Structure 1
Amino acid sequence: MSYVYLDNAATTPLCAEAIAAMAPYMDVEGEHFGNANSLYTIGRNAFAELESARETVTRALHASRPDEIVFTSGATESDNAALVGLSLAQMEKRRLKGKLNPGRIVVSRLEHHAVLHVEPMLKALGFAVDFVGNDETGLVTPADLEAVLCEDTVLVSIMMANNEVGIVEPVAELAQVAHKAGALFHTDATQAAGKVPIDLKGMGVDAASFSAHKINGPKGVGVLYLKAGTPFMPYLVGGGQERGMRSGTQNVMGAAGAAAAFKRAAENVGVYQTRVAQLRDYAYERLCKLPGVSRMVEASAENPDGYLPNIVCVSVRGWESESLILRMDLAGYCVSGGSACSSNSLDPSHVLAAMGVDRKRALGMLRLSLSLETTQEDIDGAVEALGTIISK
């Protein structure tokens, strides 16, 4: 059975560019298997290839220099490392100044669990964790952030774009507010890469997290951007790889594939903002004509265009996400929902709860996430399939 894949916010298929970049490393008779930290020729070649990948990612993300790019195992590690590593470094700076209080960390309630679930660890280390408010669309404003900052705030982490409802936060403005209060600023930009322009220099953030598999690169490869001079205590220690920022023998093949994917994503961001955004709007128009289907979040007057071009998030009255996902699967369409399906939880999405969405409405969330390969025919077919399901 063939499937129409409409869950690109979860993962994406490998693009041809990433496959081509990784192919030499799968040649059993080739010379691309070397450890990038070895001194002999094969090792030096691997190191050169790793640094070439780093330079490509630097250009794609508009970082200032290649040594600001740290390769990781994915966005989860990047998020964990950023929150713990930046916080510990800030705590040490405060200790040297005679401040025994480790400090406070501010995050939003809309964050991915890779950020939210770091809270117990931070608290165990002595930090306090505060939550910044948001409006009913998920927007966090500079005023919202300013309201929770204090002289003890050492780090703020607010995602650039939300994976469920597609809200894009004003990261550059939020970073300015954090810096004015003397805090560092990290953003989880995993969902934003390739969908909206990424200019790390212009955004003014101190750290940012990315994942290759969200932009048609390989799974198990991520990027942690650390602005030059940003205090950071390594999360993984050992051999001192990645300039001591992330120990462990580097995945050169994965880095090569990731770099190709980041380059492709940066080159195609304009297409996402035009053609894919048009498909998104078309999908909303078609879906919301079905009985009981409504857009989960209406555009905010303060932020009318601040949504990812590929996220379609609706509520289906009288249905639960799990049932819809399974029935759509039987019809040949891969989509996702807001409930914690993997844990058999009947609780609604934490994102929707933070936005004040009614529990019953949140339980009926259905998300379609589009790609460059998505067609209008794919949308039409998905709408027809959903219409058939909810009419029974």
Structure 2
Amino acid sequence: MKSYYFDHAATTPMHPEVAQAMLAVMQGSGGNPSSMHAFGRAAKGQVSAARDLIAAAVGCRPAELVFTSGGTESDNAAIIGTAAAMKQSGKSHIITSMAEHHAVLHTCERLAREGFTVTYLPVDKSGRVSADDVRAAITPETGLITIMHGNNEVGTLNPIEEIGELAKASGVTFHVDAVQSFGLYEYRLHQLPVDLMSFSAHKINGPQGVGALYIANGTPFEPVAHGGSQERKRRAGTENVAGIVGFAKAVDICVNNREEKKLFLDKLRREWVERLQEAMPHIPIVINGHEDAESRLPHIVNISFIGIDTETMLMNLDIAGIAASSGSACTSGALERSHVLRAMGLPEDRLNSAVRFSFGLGNTMEDLEDAAQIVGKIAARART
């Protein structure tokens, strides 16, 4: 049976060139980047070269990038590290949105239990945060605003530049979770009003288990991990040399193919919706998220199959060899409905029938045409 992988927002298949770059490191002589001998210096050189490449790609200084184990650690470090620094300035208020990834929401919940005050901003029916709401929420006690760029469940983009200007004018640290949008949009961080930004390699056809956190020079920050002096004492622990080299290779590929990739992904997305509409003319399907292509990620489409329960649809899709999800991969094993769709205020029939499809490396137009016919048959059976 042929299989179809339409869950690239959860993780992406590794690019062959990334695997080759990592294999060369893993088959090499080894060496700890903190060691003073030749093997250690060689490993450190590989990490430094990767840092230089990624920094150039996102428009920041190499020293402003901290390597982490992925997006979740980057989000946690940004928020907890800023919160620890906030205490020294007497600030205790954090602003975020109701539609953030759980790596942000659960971290804010923990800080709330420790005495911080957290404001959870609403989102509109497309999942977008209003800059006016951010402005209204800022108080003299506000020390951190954390808002994602591209939503991982519905793909809606937030106005991070506008929000960043508000934060800058108020002297508030601004963190952006760019895990889902990284590789699709050009960031020139030295020009953006952003103090911290989180990235992950496995969303851009790189390895799992490695990411990065941008920390602009001068940003108040206390390290979360303690031990050695790695990453300029901001993140202790021996660096994942092979993973970091693979991360850099994935970034290099993205930089050289970004615009072409965006156009192709958007074409796949539009083609998928059209094929589904043709395959199930009598079954109402509704797109959740922003309609404007300029206001959403090109590779994610969240669809409600009205009258068909999400779990029923996902189970049948899996049996048929089609990989999709109900939302964040970090919570897909849970039976609870999407907190993002709830925050958007969707009616129960859309909330209970939503499935996320996301596209990327390896997907073809022919795959979409074949898979749409399969989904149409599943939907017809499910409604009988």
If the TM-score is normalised by the length of the shorter chain, which range does it land in?
Answer: over 0.9
2:44 counterpart of 1:47: yes
Give the corresponding residue for 2:74: 78
Deviates more, 1:379-388 or 1:124-133: 124-133
Residue pairs, 1:276-355, within 5 angstroms: 276-289=265-278, 290=280, 291-297=282-288, 299=290, 305-338=294-327, 340-343=331-334, 345=335, 347-355=336-344
Q: What displacement does 1:194 show?
A: 1.5
- Indicate conservation of the 8 Å contact 1:348/1:359, yes or no: no
Q: 3-state SS of the aligned residue for 2:171?
A: coil
Q: 1:390 to 1:77 in 2, by over 3 A?
A: same
Match of 2:58 in 1: 61
Q: Compute the displacement of 1:222 (Å).
A: 0.8
Deviation at 1:250, TM superposition (A): 0.7
Aligned counterpart in structure 2 of residue 156 of structure 1, from 145, 154, 163: 145
1:14 aligns with 2:14: yes
Please tell me whether the aligned partners of residues 151 and 182 of structure 1 are also in contact (alpha carbons under 8 angstroms).
no
Which of 163, 173, 198 pairs up with 1:174?
163
The Cα of 1:118 is off from its aligned counterpart by 0.6
Aligned to 2:365: 376
Match of 1:43, SS state, is helix
Of residues 280-289 and 181-190 in structure 1, the stretch that sits farther from structure 2 once superposed is 280-289
After TM superposition, list the pairs within 5 Å mapping 1:240-259 onto structure 2: 240-259=229-248
Q: Which runs of 4+ in 1 moved over 4 A?
A: none
Q: What SS class does the counterpart of residue 348 from structure 1 fall into?
A: coil
- The offset of 1:200, in angstroms, is 1.9
Q: Which residue of 2 aligns with 1:5?
A: 5
Q: Could you tell me how far apart the structure 2 residues matched to 1:200 and 1:80 are?
A: 20
**Which residue in the other structure is 2:204 paired with?**
215
Separation of aligned partners in 2, 1:237 and 1:55: 24
**Match for 1:119 among 108, 124, 137?**
108
Secondary structure of the residue that 2:346 maps to in structure 1? coil
Q: Is the 8 A contact 1:78 1:222 kept in 2?
A: yes
State the shift of 1:13 in Å: 1.0
Q: 1:292 Cα shift?
A: 2.8
- TM-superposed CA distance for 1:179, in Å, is 1.5
How far off is 1:18 after superposition? 1.1
Residue 25 of structure 1 and its aligned partner are, at CA, apart by: 2.4
CA distance in 1, matches of 2:371, 2:167: 43
Q: Displacement, 1:304?
A: 5.7
Residue 189 (str. 1) matches residue 209 (str. 2): no
**Under a length normalisation based on structure 1, what TM-score does the superposition of the two structures give?**
0.92
1:68 Cα deviation (Å)?
Answer: 0.7
Instruction: Please tell me the residue identity of whatever aligns with 1:294.
Output: I
Deviates further, 260-269 or 187-196: 260-269
* 1:313 match: secondary structure: strand
Deviation at 1:23, TM superposition (A): 1.3
Query: Quick one: distance in 2 between partners of 1:80 and 1:299?
Result: 28
1:77 Cα deviation after fit? 0.4
RMSD of aligned residue pairs (Cα, Å)? 1.6
Deviation at 1:341, TM superposition (A): 4.1
Where does structure 2 lack aligned partners over 5 or more consecutive residues?
none
How far 1:298 moved relative to its partner? 5.6
Contact 1:195 1:310 in 2 (8 A): no
- Please give the secondary structure, in 2, of the residue aligned with 1:203: coil
Q: Judge conservation of contact 1:133–1:145 (CA < 8 Å) in 2.
A: no
Tell me the residue number matched to 2:86.
90
Contact 1:288/1:295 (CA < 8 Å) preserved in 2? no
Residue of 225, 240, 245 corresponding to 1:236: 225
Partner of 2:24: 24
Whether contact under 8 Å (1:134, 1:141) holds in the other structure is yes
Residue 388 to residue 296, structure 1, CA distance change in 2 (3 Å): same
CA contact (8 A) 1:196 1:308 kept: no
CA shift digits 1:198-231 (9 cap, x unpaired): 2322322100111101111111101111111111
Mapped pair 1:361 → 2:350: yes
